Structure 1
């Protein structure tokens, strides 16, 4: 912190001062109060401005910058005539060496006078001046950067002397850099003054740093995460996370780099929370699920950050873009061959969709060709899903000749519900009637089969017993035959005895005998009967033996017969069940039942969450009726409901890919799309952590953390699937009205977003430094032919597709949602918002910046790969950066091999042509790295970058346009501090300067005055550049509500933020939709009251779509000014 000791003779008098000195506004004999620095008064502003110019390197640079250009006067020499022109400025003669005109000499004198005046003013202000100097020094970019230099960080457990020494050296290094800048921009800076400042900075930093180490040691012991960390410390057990990647790092290696205090600001978003979870599995799962730009401790060791499923999903955008290009080219070809009486583009696209339901065939050649060209997309996706087990190998299309995803026209179904319901009901009834007719024919056949099964049920045990008995004679057939012969001979006597018995009975009955004779004859008859009974048993035995002989003669035949009988008997239950179905099927559904089922189906379709209709549409009660399977799929032919289906092939393809890509990549990464295994492992790990916790408070905290982690994982998963925060009734008035309002807000408020994005110019520099980024930019500018080839290569990685898809623009405006188009108004608004990005030049700007960064990071990776392959060693910084991108040294070797085969150097633009690479693993790693870095450099928000409440309908309404600032906080500010190199801080300074430039341009376009005071420029630069992250939002809202008394503007002694000048207090707190409501209320009030003043005129202008489109706004400004007169 600088101290100034100016002798009285160093203060110039009025005769040497070329700037007229204003009278002191606070009174000649009254020193400013210590609190003047913090007040918005004129005195406070003067103090802050003086301190900003003297004690802040950025302010000093702004004050010394040549904002005016001086025409050089030929032969002019400021030292001519014995340097008479420099009288009074002899001590600063070196500053005039390069002066080329009297005007420039006068400007240099004025700058010197200003510096002397500022120093005098700060010295005379006493305590208020000192506080002002301290405050401006604290926000000095170099001092801020020094705070995050690792050498000056407080090390937990370090000794006082060690930490103090490191802090002193860090403070001295920062002070040297500051003083070097001051000497370059301030003529009045003396060497003695600089040496004193460096010495004091080193002493103070050492004392404060040593004290901080003591505090850090004490507070660290109280943290819950440290107790958890101690439980897991040293763990090096591989943990299987998914089907594709396996985490083999330790808990320490998965720690975020940078300062804990800064990293804690990530906790407002699910991705940031998971990155700091006490659960190892939660950290690695979040890393594999959601894309981030963070640096981890493992990156220092060259261990790669896991690739994210989200990045893989984003690469499918290339497929969507190719679809658009294919159908667009087809329509152009069709239009050339049919210049008159041709279909509109929408009709043409719809005919392609219809053709794809009919075997990709159409009478118009261009439509036929387009359908054939698009078919491989579905086939490749189907093959991928079969490989992952998501589809059976024998999957077939049941509802059309060829497959086209069903996407319902919700608005058409809603407006013509009766017609759609009738088609469904007629199909249900017809399907049921066909089955009833078949059931009647099947009933008799099934009855005969049941009779066969019942007979077999009785016959099978008998035959099985006979076979078992016959098998006992196996090997004794001769004995069997002898016994059979013997018993057969005895059996023949039976016939003779029967005749004899009948004769004797007849005689006994017809004749009269004496009692004695009759008794003899009766006894004889009884004897014969006894013999017959014995012979009857013999006959039965003969039959049994004959059966044994017959079975042994053809044992295989009888065994086969037994097997068939058992099979028939076993089918009895199944045939009875089938007959029960036949009986039920013979009873047709009534029309009332059919209509009721049709109503349920229609309700499921139009009430589907997120507009994604489930496959299981048939009601539970319907699957029990004839003609409907347990699959519960609505297998009605597509042609019957085609009028209610989306056929616009561009929309169908985009919607289908958005739905199916996340399912594929989640399954590929984690084994299942629901990530059930990973969630289970997180819960189990917390069981261990809770068991190891020492106090009930720690256990309760861990239990809560478990729920939070699982919630965040599930939320990011569902965000990727497009279902998180989906309203239960997406067709309700309030949901659709909110969606329409957000689209309108986009069209009326973001006309100047391309200008606002000028600050993105610094992002490639922040990510990769001047040395890596500027040569690529130069090659892009000077070699447009090769640039076209390189950009085409990037498009294969889904980079540079904004003019086609408007992905970043719609995401930043909170318009990216999976809901299908519904009403014609919503369709029109969606078309307008897609085109609006092109009209504002935002999409073209995004494509250019993404191409620059994409080529920069691609060249950086390929150069490192070549260096490593040639035997050179990479610097630690390069190894760390490659690892952060997801590429380790082994992968760099593999990339080098592919680059040698397929890549080329397009005059400074290294291009890998990675879509041609032979190794799919290397290709995916390389493309994921380039895409991840590009979407982090040109900030494109992801599933883990925003608070969860922003996915709800209310959150989208209140927090619209806040998505970018949260993503920038994660991907720019925190990531940059973790990066911690010169590239980031150089880029940050450039970005702040560009932010100030954006402010000036916006003010000019809006017809407002540009406040060029240093404090205001820095404040606006920081805000416009997003360098304060999400913390700027509450500050700006507070500023708006407090009327400028509190907030960022008050901190810099500047007016309120210009971004909020047109927003009322309600809008500042509740978002642009409520601001729109306030404007509409003002307009309505003016109309009803007959008082249409300036306020109502401006409110009317604000509600108009396109009103601030940068090439329309100036015209509307003039019209508004004319109306106000």
Structure 2
């Protein structure tokens, strides 16, 4: 059995994951569709993000908002961002001018963040392709400067005027608006270069001139009538010359999406949802039908060389290659383990136990005491990591998702039957976990109470300080604009205070002289001087009291930013009392841990949600609502009990887990890629809107009633096909019920009882490739296969990379025939045994081998046929119209054939008439996906 080394970059490679958008060089980045980009109400997160980026980059108002200094930074004395060889701006030397006025490390960091945001916005707009261009144009159009420029009278069409004159006026108006807009953008963006602005002004002037010339040409009634007629013809679907490239793939009419062939024969297809939608009066329904489910129909557009859409179902099936590689890797690891055990003479575990050991290791950082188990776990890990990254890229999972219930991630699939048979034990473990979380939360709440009390004390102390500082600032602002007068008052008081010692000494001397003299006249003079000196000392005392007040005024006026920041801090702290009291109330509530009775009641509710989950899909939020806000529990309602604590109640068989995991995530990923969301809400709305228009255009009540009925039928069929891909169509509400499980057992038994001779009955399938491709095209590869078995092995390996011919391992066709694919089944030992027997039964009866060989042969025929046509087109030759029609039916147009031929010329191989492309080596990602 071959060993397949798994590279994380290949697990979701283009041969597995076909993406509808063309020519995307980034592995995970999908460029949004142009339809989504021009839809103002789109829910596509990539388009919304591109609009936000364009608003910040290409709109003067958005650029100003993004750069406006809403937060004030306290200046740090002596701070210079260019000190220490400009260490603070390392990596930002090209934008050094932006840091000249930075007064603190915080302000420098904010400027760097602003530059990083601008660079990230520009990079993102470039990555999303056409959607980024459309977003930039839209944000530029609603720029206030450009809107104002529209009212400049220079840009008016003059009746009878010359084309050159009007073009000049329009160019002038556009250039004027562009200059103003670019000036605003230059002032608010560090990363906007002068050459970029000059280029934009020149382009705006050129576009304005072209529009002006066109407007003058259309000023005549005849010209306007011709344009109106042309547009009307296009809207009515009248033939018009259009390209057949990938960019025009959605630009088809109802007639082009019509089924080819006789109408009577096509009516027989109405027994299936796909057949009904293919003949729907709604163009959108017909297009969605092709994008959703596989079909082998010919459409009228195929005759024109227009390719049929690639279905999401086709892309989902390609995940089988990942499952095949995982199972083969596990099998090979078990064979190595068996050899090692045989050599050492130790007891060997069986294959099922080995698979469970691999699953357990994957919960423990891919570590195990058994080297082969650890090796298998490490080899399988990239599948989970790649799908996780893909789902994060599409917005299905948050960017910060992390593993918190184990050392490493393994999907959690419950053993429902073990839970039912040992419910008390399972409930007890969950209750113990809930109590433990609650106790820890109560301890943390107590610690928070201490911090909150300290905060309340600070708030109480800050209130009077804030009031005093506000009063000081208000008094100081009375001197605003009169700083010179304030300085004079300060000087006056300083001079007066400086005379205090001399005045006091003179007063002491006079009072002594007054006591010694007997002359009345001299006494009178001395008493008057003594009184004057005492008055001066009183003035000095008053000056000493007033001086600090005036000094405070001066200090506040000299440092307004510092003290206003301090006032804001004090006011914020003083006003935090309400918030802190609310936090204190919550913390007090959380200080009370859950009782054992409360924990067991919550555990009972969790167990009921697990075993009673609709369709067997256990929801993420199963923590009871009443626990939210209690000690240890936040708004998240996910059951975060460590896997190891309930491991015996979880599936560990890595084969079963991987199959269930891929059956769930593959449709979710591919439907999101194809339609933006897995529920296809936008597409269903478009169908409804188109029918609303058709109903308005209907002439009779009977036609309107028929269209209303058809709308319901189309939406029902689309929903059913979507649910079939998701695996939820017709899924039982209670998979553990006796009747559901009895039916599943009966299907397994009937498969074993009645399909033993299915290989003989399927012998006529050998004629299908001949009927489909003709004797020459089908027998040619067969002859090469018989002559060169090495070539067959090479081609078969290529096909397996494309999920073709995997029946021997996966039994996909036999399971589909017998309706045995059930991702939600509860598995008892008896049911697991029956499942294993049905899996092996296809091998014992040679049905799986037959299907693998037949599909491989068909795959080689189709591959050789496509590559042969591509080789002819790329070499400048031509192929028959019927062959081009067949290529279009399988989703390949002439341009794509040419590109396939180029890749085949670089990497493909002609092995004695058997062509194989080695598509996993192709460097054109989009071509590889389509092929």
TM-score by structure 1 length? 0.56
Deviation at 1:640, TM superposition (A): 0.7
Deviation at 1:600, TM superposition (A): 1.4
Q: Which residue of 1 aligns with 2:339?
A: 336
Q: Which residue of 2 aligns with 1:394?
A: 400
Structure 1 segment 815-830 matched on structure 2, within 5 A: 815-830=820-835
Pair 580,535 (structure 1): closer, same or farther in 2 beyond 3 Å: farther
Aligned 8 A contact 1:690 1:702 in 2: yes
Pair 261,825 (structure 1): closer, same or farther in 2 beyond 3 Å: same
Partners of 1:609 and 1:537 lie apart in 2 by 86
Aligned 8 A contact 1:236 1:249 in 2: no
Q: Which residue of 1 aligns with 2:459?
A: 453
Q: Which residue of 2 aligns with 1:291?
A: 294
Q: Deviations over 1:784-820 (max 9, x none)?
A: 2221111111111111000101101110111112224
Correspondence for 2:309 among 306, 310, 328: 306
Higher relative contact order (CA 8 A, sep 6+): 2
Deviation at 1:268, TM superposition (A): 2.0
Partners of 1:571 and 1:780 lie apart in 2 by 81
- Is 1:604 the counterpart of 2:609? The answer is yes
Partners of 1:569 and 1:853 lie apart in 2 by 79
Structure 1 segment 225-236 matched on structure 2, within 5 A: 233-234=236-237
Q: Deviations over 1:306-357 (max 9, x none)?
A: 0011100100000101111001000101101102411111111111111111
Partners of 2:762 and 2:259 lie apart in 1 by 29
- SS state of the match for residue 628, structure 2? helix
Q: Which residue of 1 aligns with 2:919?
A: 914
- Is 1:581 the counterpart of 2:581? The answer is no
Deviation at 1:757, TM superposition (A): 1.0
Pair 901,434 (structure 1): closer, same or farther in 2 beyond 3 Å: same
Partners of 2:558 and 2:623 lie apart in 1 by 59
Partners of 1:286 and 1:393 lie apart in 2 by 32
Deviation at 1:550, TM superposition (A): 3.3
Pair 362,474 (structure 1): closer, same or farther in 2 beyond 3 Å: same
Structure 1 segment 393-412 matched on structure 2, within 5 A: 393-412=399-418
Pair 468,293 (structure 1): closer, same or farther in 2 beyond 3 Å: farther
Q: Which residue of 2 aligns with 1:414?
A: 420
Aligned 8 A contact 1:244 1:668 in 2: no
- SS state of the match for residue 621, structure 1? helix
Aligned 8 A contact 2:590 2:629 in 1: no
Correspondence for 1:692 among 694, 697, 700: 697
Q: Which residue of 1 aligns with 2:771?
A: 766
Pair 535,244 (structure 1): closer, same or farther in 2 beyond 3 Å: farther
Q: Deviations over 1:726-783 (max 9, x none)?
A: 1111111111111111111111111111111112111101211112101112222232
Pair 769,597 (structure 1): closer, same or farther in 2 beyond 3 Å: same
Aligned 8 A contact 2:479 2:486 in 1: yes
- SS state of the match for residue 625, structure 1? coil
Pair 595,700 (structure 1): closer, same or farther in 2 beyond 3 Å: same
- Is 1:796 the counterpart of 2:801? The answer is yes
Q: Deviations over 1:228-258 (max 9, x none)?
A: xx997417999xxxx9996221111111111
Q: Which residue of 2 aligns with 1:264?
A: 267
Q: Which residue of 1 aligns with 2:737?
A: 732
- SS state of the match for residue 451, structure 2? helix
- Is 1:547 the counterpart of 2:547? The answer is no
Moved more, 544-553 or 281-290: 544-553
Structure 1 segment 797-812 matched on structure 2, within 5 A: 797-812=802-817
Structure 1 segment 876-1025 matched on structure 2, within 5 A: 876-926=881-931
Partners of 1:563 and 1:786 lie apart in 2 by 79
Q: Deviations over 1:500-550 (max 9, x none)?
A: xxxxxxxxxxxxxxxxxxxxxxxxxxxxxxxxx999999997665443123
- SS state of the match for residue 279, structure 2? coil
Pair 764,492 (structure 1): closer, same or farther in 2 beyond 3 Å: same
Pair 269,462 (structure 1): closer, same or farther in 2 beyond 3 Å: farther
Aligned 8 A contact 1:245 1:669 in 2: no
Partners of 2:447 and 2:485 lie apart in 1 by 55
Partners of 1:628 and 1:643 lie apart in 2 by 25
Structure 1 segment 1063-1102 matched on structure 2, within 5 A: none
Aligned residue pairs: how many? 658
Partners of 2:470 and 2:917 lie apart in 1 by 76
Deviation at 1:653, TM superposition (A): 1.1
Moved more, 247-256 or 569-578: 569-578
Q: Which residue of 2 aligns with 1:623?
A: 628
Q: Which residue of 1 aligns with 2:688?
A: 683
Deviation at 1:842, TM superposition (A): 1.1
Partners of 2:617 and 2:829 lie apart in 1 by 19
Structure 1 segment 455-474 matched on structure 2, within 5 A: 455-456=461-462, 459-460=465-466, 462-464=468-470, 466-474=472-480
Q: Which residue of 1 aligns with 2:363?
A: 357
Pair 246,297 (structure 1): closer, same or farther in 2 beyond 3 Å: closer
Deviation at 1:440, TM superposition (A): 1.3
Q: Which residue of 2 aligns with 1:848?
A: 853
Unmatched tracts of structure 1, length 5 or more: 1-229, 494-532, 927-1125
- Is 1:433 the counterpart of 2:439? The answer is yes
Q: Deviations over 1:56-84 (max 9, x none)?
A: xxxxxxxxxxxxxxxxxxxxxxxxxxxxx
- Is 1:872 the counterpart of 2:872? The answer is no
Partners of 1:416 and 1:891 lie apart in 2 by 59
Aligned 8 A contact 1:271 1:290 in 2: yes
Structure 1 segment 148-227 matched on structure 2, within 5 A: none
Deviation at 1:566, TM superposition (A): 3.9
Pair 244,838 (structure 1): closer, same or farther in 2 beyond 3 Å: farther
Pair 236,443 (structure 1): closer, same or farther in 2 beyond 3 Å: farther
Provide the alpha-carbon RMSD of the alignment. 3.0
Q: Deviations over 1:570-596 (max 9, x none)?
A: 644543332222011012212222111
Pair 666,577 (structure 1): closer, same or farther in 2 beyond 3 Å: farther
Correspondence for 2:353 among 347, 364, 381: 347
Aligned 8 A contact 1:231 1:692 in 2: no
Deviation at 1:490, TM superposition (A): 10
Aligned 8 A contact 1:302 1:889 in 2: yes
Deviation at 1:422, TM superposition (A): 0.7
Q: Which residue of 2 aligns with 1:319?
A: 322
Q: Deviations over 1:409-456 (max 9, x none)?
A: 111111111111111111011101100011112112112213333554
Partners of 1:591 and 1:774 lie apart in 2 by 74
Q: For the pair shown, which has the larger CA radius of gyration, 1 or 2?
A: 1
- SS state of the match for residue 624, structure 1? coil
- SS state of the match for residue 905, structure 1? strand
Q: Deviations over 1:895-917 (max 9, x none)?
A: 11111111101222111111221
Aligned 8 A contact 1:244 1:670 in 2: no
Aligned 8 A contact 2:864 2:916 in 1: yes
Correspondence for 2:489 among 480, 483, 486: 483
TM-score by structure 2 length? 0.67
- SS state of the match for residue 450, structure 1? helix
Deviation at 1:267, TM superposition (A): 1.8
Correspondence for 1:377 among 375, 379, 383: 383
Partners of 1:541 and 1:256 lie apart in 2 by 98
Pair 535,684 (structure 1): closer, same or farther in 2 beyond 3 Å: farther
Partners of 1:597 and 1:744 lie apart in 2 by 40
Aligned 8 A contact 2:363 2:408 in 1: yes
Partners of 1:579 and 1:302 lie apart in 2 by 71
Pair 821,733 (structure 1): closer, same or farther in 2 beyond 3 Å: closer
Structure 1 segment 277-288 matched on structure 2, within 5 A: 277-288=280-291
Partners of 2:709 and 2:783 lie apart in 1 by 53
